[in-house]
């Protein structure tokens, strides 16, 4: 076991995976609630929270620091929401006011009172996951990176919270009014969700920085939602995307000699692009195929109706021929040939010399369309 945790690649990848899972579990609900910017708010606020806790207690790490910085993140989100509810400014204006103000406050306090303390705003935002293996703690005789211990605990807490309150979170996310009617206290659950998000952000900042935390909290859930509409599947897929991004991001970063954390964030974007392109329901390719299928069905129906309307005419030999489609349906010759060939293949139409005639299947479809209300 010591050999495993002594492996630098393993500790870096495992740390990234823990952040990914912890952030995705909560980020999924924030994305579905349209509160994704809450993660950014928390990222701006924790600098102020860290400095304020240090001024009050003299501590730069540990559970007190974790809780204090987390509460600062929650306070930021609640303050922005309060300004929005006051109807004195729009939500985007409130966010634009509160987020930079909290971050500026943290940087100002850092420069005024904590210059001699090892708290750096650049580190808080960007972190350095490549160095997580340097700080270790003894756990049952095994030297484990300190960041992994904290992130492991946070991940377990987040998983327990989502598991225990899954039904309440699901209903509160999609129908807050009904959740309140059932006595589920969606507002309280929302505050708990934001508090855990703040705790996760603070636990992540020393190892991976807030930027990578925000990427893991938003991008994998957004990608997962493009791949499934079932909430439990979205949670699993989002966690899987986060873990895969950690693994692939590490190896690509080592191969290209670039920032590991930055490449992990980039890989989440790669997965999002893949989901956006190839998602089974909302993907660009799937939608293009669906539109093409709908267009082909419409063309088949138009041909069937035209042939049905003229099949009893004396001049059927002039109307129900390939050449007539260009005038009646205004189809180019190539399109007319393609539609006729497709309808023949699908058993809607057959040829009788030059004349196109409907099969029983095609005639039935045409009469269904021509029937009043069809």
Could you read off the pLDDT of 233-257 as tens digits, one per residue?
999 999 999 999 999 999 999 999 9
Segments of the chain assigned to CATH 1.10.10.10: 285-370
The number of residues in the chain equals 374
Cα gap 101→92, rounded to integer Å = 14
Q: Which residue has the higher pLDDT, 121 or 92?
A: 92
Give the CATH number of domain 2-280.
1.10.3470.10
Structure tokens at 313: 């005419």
> Kind and range of the H or E element at 350?
strand 349-352
- In eight-state DSSP terms, residue 7 is -
Number of neighbours of residue 10 by Cβ within 10 angstroms: 16
The pLDDT assigned to 124 comes to 55
Phi/psi for 58 (5° steps) reads 80, 5
* Reported pTM: 0.82
Q: How far is CA 10 from the centre of its chain?
A: 26
Segment 58-87 mean pLDDT: 76
First to last CA, the chain: 70
Segment 348-373 mean pLDDT: 88
Segments of the chain assigned to CATH 1.10.3470.10: 2-280
Cα gap 142→123, rounded to integer Å = 27
Could you read off the pLDDT of 11-28 as tens digits, one per residue?
999 999 999 999 999 999
Cα gap 341→350, rounded to integer Å = 9
Could you read off the pLDDT of 254-275 as tens digits, one per residue?
999 998 988 999 999 999 999 9
Q: Please check the confidence at residue 281 and state whether its pLDDT lies above 60.
A: yes
Apex 72 CA angle, 220 and 216, nearest 5: 10
Structure tokens at 279: 């998602």
- 285-370 belongs to which CATH class? mainly alpha
pLDDT band of 62, cuts 50, 70, 90: low
**What are residue 350's DSSP bridge partners?**
357
Cα gap 138→150, rounded to integer Å = 13
Structure tokens at 217: 């909290």
pLDDT band of 80, cuts 50, 70, 90: confident
Distances (CA, A) of 204 to 182, 216, 299, 346: 35, 11, 56, 58
pLDDT band of 67, cuts 50, 70, 90: confident
Q: Please check the confidence at residue 183 and state whether its pLDDT lies above 70.
A: yes
Cα gap 265→259, rounded to integer Å = 10
Percent over 90 (pLDDT), the chain:
43
Q: What is the CA radius of gyration of the chain?
A: 30
Within 305-348, strands assigned E span: none
Number of neighbours of residue 231 by Cβ within 10 angstroms: 18
Closest CA to 339 of 292, 303, 285, 294: 303
Structure tokens at 157: 């807490």
Helices within 206-283 (DSSP H only): 209-227, 231-256, 260-278
**How high does pLDDT run on average in the chain?**
86
């Amino acid at each position: 076991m010591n050999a495993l945790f002594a492996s630098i690649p393993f500790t870096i990848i495992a740390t990234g995976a823990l952040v990914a899972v912890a952030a995705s579990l909560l980020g999924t609900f924030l994305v579905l609630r349209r509160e994704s910017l809450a993660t950014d708010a928390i990222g701006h606020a924790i600098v102020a929270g860290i400095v304020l806790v240090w001024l009050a207690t003299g501590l730069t790490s540990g559970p007190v620091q974790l809780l204090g910085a987390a509460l600062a993140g929650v306070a930021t989100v609640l303050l922005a929401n309060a300004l929005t509810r006051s109807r004195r400014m729009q939500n985007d204006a409130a966010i634009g006011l509160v987020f930079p103000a909290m971050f500026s406050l943290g940087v100002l306090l850092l420069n005024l009172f904590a210059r001699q303390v090892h708290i750096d705003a650049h580190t808080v935002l960007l972190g350095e996951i490549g160095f997580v293996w340097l700080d270790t703690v003894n756990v049952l005789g095994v030297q484990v990176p300190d960041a992994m211990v904290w992130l492991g605990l946070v991940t377990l807490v987040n998983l327990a919270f989502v598991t225990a309150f899954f039904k309440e979170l699901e209903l509160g996310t999609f129908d807050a009014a009904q959740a309140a009617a059932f006595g589920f206290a969606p507002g309280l659950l929302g505050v708990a969700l934001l508090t855990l998000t703040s705790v996760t952000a603070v636990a992540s900042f020393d190892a991976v920085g807030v930027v990578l935390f925000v990427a893991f909290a938003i991008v994998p859930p957004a990608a997962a939602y493009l791949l499934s509409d079932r909430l439990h599947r979205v949670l699993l897929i989002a966690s899987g995307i986060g873990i895969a991004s950690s693994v692939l991001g590490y190896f690509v970063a080592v191969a290209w000699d670039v920032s590991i954390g930055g490449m992990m964030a980039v890989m989440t974007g790669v997965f999002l692009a893949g989901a956006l392109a190839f998602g089974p329901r909302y993907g660009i390719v799937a939608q293009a195929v669906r539109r093409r299928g709908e267009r082909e069905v419409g063309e088949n129906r138009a041909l069937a109706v035209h042939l049905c309307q003229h099949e009893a005419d004396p001049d059927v030999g002039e109307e129900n021929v390939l050449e007539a489609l260009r005038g009646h349906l205004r189809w180019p010759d190539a399109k007319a040939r393609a539609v006729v060939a497709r309808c023949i293949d699908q058993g809607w139409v057959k040829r009788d010399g030059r004349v196109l005639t409907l099969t029983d299947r095609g005639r039935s479809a045409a009469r269904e369309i021509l029937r009043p209300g069809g």
